[in-house]
Amino acid sequence: MSTTAVIVDAVRTPLAKGKPGGAYSEIHPVDLHSTVLKALVDRTGIDPAAVDDVISGAVGQVGEQSGNTARWALLAAGFPESVPGVTVDRQCGSSQQALHFAAQGVIAGAYDVAIASGVESMSRIPIGSQTLGKDFAGPRVHAKYGLVPQGISAELIAHKWDLSRARLDEFSAESHQRAARAWKNGLFDSQITKVNDLGVDETIRPDTTAEVLAGLRTAFRDEHWETRFPELDWRITAGNSSPVNDGAAAVLVTSEEAANRLGLTPRARVHSFAVAGDDPIFMLTGIIPATRKVLAKAGLSIQDIDVFEVNEAFAPVVLAWQKETGADLAKVNVNGGAIAIGHPLGSSGARLMTTLLNNLEQTGGRYGLQVMCEAGGLANATVIERI
C-alpha cells in the first residue's frame, strides 16, 4: 500500500519591500523564518517534537542566511533540539523543491511529519550576494552558452513570443488590481501570520494602471546587450518585473496515517510533482516543459486544473507559458502574483503553495498547479488535490 503525502496547513508572512526601510529590514532572517514555523505549530496544535525534518529554501546563503539557516530558524521558533533541519538551493524554486523533498520523504516512508519552508531577506542579503562577485558557472559553460542576466532572458522571451510592451503592462497592472482586491475582500487573511504591524503585502500598488506602467523606462537596455541582441526592441521595466522582497512561508506535510494519528485535518494531497530543465539563455521558460511533465505524471490535462499559481518573475514568463499550454488566464494567479505581491526568492515556492491551497479552497476547485521558473533554465511543478 503506497503512502500519500498530504498538506495539513500552510502559512506565510505578508511580504515586505526588500530594501533598507522595508518593514522587515531590521529583523534577522532567522527570526523572520521562525515566525512561520511557530505559526504552523500554533495553528495546528502539533507537537514540534513530532517533526522529522524541517527542509527550507534560501537563495542568498551567505552572512545571516548561511550556516544551514533552517536549523537556526527551528530553534528560534522553540522547536526541541532533537528536530533536524536542512537548507536547499534550487534558486527561486528552493522552497518548492523543499516541498517536493518533504513529500518524497513521506511517500518513501522516511518521514511521518515534515515542514517545507523558505525565507529570504533581500533587504539584508541583497540579490547576488552569495556569488561575492565571482563567476559561478565557469569557463566551459560560458563558452557553450554565453550566459545572460534574467532580465535579458525576459526580453528574449517577450520577443520570441511576440508579447508587446502594452500587453506586458496590462498583465502587470491586473496583478496589482487582483492582489489589492484579495486583501480588501479578506481572501489572504487565513494564510497570514503577522511579524510586526505590516498588515498587507508592501509592494502592492492598488492604483497602478497600464497607462502608468507605460511611462516607465526599460530596465536592461544598454550598449553591450543592444550589440549582442540587435533584434530586441526592449520591453522589460521595473513595472512588469517582480520586485525584491523580504518574507517567509511554511507548509506542514504528513502522511495520511500520521495526520489521523495526530488528530490533524489534511487540506490537500500532494498529487504529483516534477522538475525540468530548459535553455539557460531563455532561462525562465523551464515552466513550459515542467508543466507538461507534471500533467503527464498526474494523468491530467491543462483543462483539469481549477487554479494555477505561476510565479510572475517577469510578465512575459507567464504569458509565454499561457500561449504554449493554453491555460485559461482567468484561473491563473487569481488573487494576483509576484509582480504585485512580491518575490522573496527562497520563500516564494512555499508562499505560492500557501496561496494556491487557499485559492483552491475558496474557489471550490479540485486540482491546483504551481510552477516556478528558476535560474539556469530550471523549473519545479506541483499538482495538489483538495480534500
Catalytic residues: 92, 343, 373
Cα 316 to Cα 312: distance, rounded to the nearest angstrom: 8
Backbone angles phi, psi at 56, to 5 degrees: -130, 145
Determine the distance from the C-alpha atom of residue 245 to the mean position of all C-alpha atoms in its chain, rounded to a whole number: 12
Closest CA to 217 of 198, 196, 241, 243: 241
Cα 161 to the center of its chain, rounded Å: 24
CA distances from residue 154 to 4, 15, 338, 349 in whole angstroms, order as listed: 37, 23, 15, 20
Q: Strands 85-88 and 53-57: what pairing?
A: parallel
Query: How many CB atoms sit inside 10 A of residue 189's CB?
Result: 11
Q: Residue 294 has which C-alpha cell?
A: 507534471
Length reported for the chain:
387
Q: Pick from 368, 344, 275, 267: which is nearest to 56 by CA? A: 344
Q: Give the whole-angstrom CA distance, residue 366 versus residue 166.
A: 34
